[in-house]
Amino acid sequence: MRLQDKVALITGAGSGIGYHSALVFAREGAAVVVVDVNEAGGQKTVSEVQAAGGKAVFVRADVSKAADCERMVQTAEATFGKLNVLFNNAGISHGDDDDSVNTTEDVWDLTFQINVKGVFLGCKYGIPALRRAGGGSVINTASFVATLGAATPQLAYTASKGAVLSMTRELAAIHARENIRVNALCPGPLRTELLMKYLNTDAKKQRRLVHIPMGRFGEAAEIANAALFLASDEASFVTGSNFLVDGGITSAYTTPE
């Protein structure tokens, strides 16, 4: 198994990419620390992992709060003895996110608190645990919009994911000699509840779909498989990468009708 005897902490594991990643990580041998602000979703993930014969524990945490991030890492080490994989996946895309004129300061600040500060705090407390384990893998969920501007305005989200990508590159450079790899996982548009709430009209969906060469939204389970690669020793020479899993959206200016 690809994560045999490893311990992985996944934020935002109560739904979407985090949920599917928890299931696949556990199936591949990892003990999983399931972190989410949504207790019902997180507990459901733990139950499913355990029902399949895996090991998991739930921690309710708001990743924008330092004390919560410190506690989730402490729980990983106290419960399973170490931490090998830190998957900073939790994030939001606010329904009122728009352009610079129409996005409110509150929406901007909330987006950065979770999407950027949450990754920073995860690394602040998680990287020392990886050091104690002799190294490991950090995966930060960014987005294709860190590379390519979105056709539908979502400025706070886009700027936040650009920050995650640049933070990832610097952390990779800082920690490369410590056997700690840091990569940005950059999904394209996915058929998740988060995106579908934002692309809440057929017109918005089609405006996004027309730019995807594969002609469909991705699935969260497909991103989880990419995260599995980055978490595993198969990615032992991969660090500082902008790991795009986007159906080709960043490869083409437009797509033929």
**Active-site residue numbers?**
157
The Cα-based distances of 213 to 173, 191, 250 in angstroms read 33, 16, 9
Q: Give CA torsion, residues 171, 173, 175, 180, to 10 deg.
A: 90
DSSP state, residue 218: B
Contact (CB, 8 A) for 33 and 11 = no
DSSP state, residue 1: -
Look up residue 32 and give its two tokens. Answer: 């999983």
* Burial call 116-135: b when 16+ CB within 10 Å, e when fewer: bbbbbbbbebbbebbeebee
Contact (CB, 8 A) for 163 and 114 = no
